[in-house]
Structure 1
Amino acid sequence: MTTLPNSEYASDLEDQGLVEKVTIGQNKVYYIPTKEGEFLADGKSLSPDEGGELGKESPEHHLGVRFSARRHEQLGYKITLYGDINEGENKTDVFAKPTKKSPSDRNKLIEVEISPEKKQHVLDDYEALKEAYGDAVWVVESHEEAVTLLEKLSERVDDLPSGHNLRSIEKLNEKLGKPGIKKIHTLNSLRNQIE
């Protein structure tokens, strides 16, 4: 196992409430600064006052937002966290606006959904993404959560794959491409794409 510089301080920082520990697949451990930790480090918070689109988002949600923003920034998009869509009526977790460097000329509307079992929330987000100009990209914690998301969305979207027989996110994405759900990523698939 690799020991990172200063990693012996992580548990102390966690005990002091300055970071939160997040473990995702393949036993990858991340420490996300709390709002207090951000203020202490920089004198300002990197998160919106509400903590996210709906406030008090989980560390996994913050990780998904940061992974998504970083990946799309690397692809040449201009990033806005918790950006407005549909003339300000809705927000998306990451709004990626194309530039001359980006591989597409379409906006990427990224929704991090850590609780896809909450059907009404998923359906409301889907309707907002479907109406907005751009490609809707969903981020979930794991492949199992992608299957759950597809089950909930299948009530509104015809011909969605179930995901049960497609163990690869890449194979699953080949079957998507509809308004409101162009692609799905997991935290791991995004992490693996970050250079």
Structure 2
Amino acid sequence: RAMPNMHVFRPCDAVETEAAWYSALTSKETPTTIVVTRQNLTPMQGSSKNALKGGYILEDCEGVPDIILIATGSEVELAVEVSRVLENKGRGVRVVSMPCMDMFEEQSEEYKQSILPKAVTRRIAIEALSTFGWGRYVGPEGKIIGMTSFGASGAYKELFKHFGFTADEIVKIADNL
């Protein structure tokens, strides 16, 4: 993502992977990198060709959300799991899938505000990679669940637990926002 003029996609399921592939085949000026996971992914209800906008609302609550969860790749499923717990606690939650930050930045300000309204400052970004770039989406009051180290190896479920990529840990963070 630090490379200029490169669309980096982390799709959450087959639908977003198809959108990334379409983007790669049709873009005449910008190369595309598609970063997929090794684990099996659950098809996400709500995933769509809106992935071509870089970020879109995967799930939403009625009215203005209390909190926005932004995720990419396999972590979108985790965000949906967290949203279920928070909704059961009475919180209004929006889940945003952000498969390609650069394509999201290419959208109009009106579109970006419709996805990430400035009025909603409680935001959590979830990505089991570097925290690079997420600050602009969570703002000063939000939190980023990401990696700040390198070199651990093992089964992904064990590593997710070790690094705090669990619904329980993220719900705790959301409860304190």
The alignment's TM-score, normalised by the length of structure 2, stands at 0.38
Greater radius of gyration (CA): 1
The alignment's TM-score, normalised by the length of structure 1, stands at 0.36
Question: Structure with the greater relative contact order (CA < 8 A, sep ≥ 6): 1 or 2?
Answer: 2
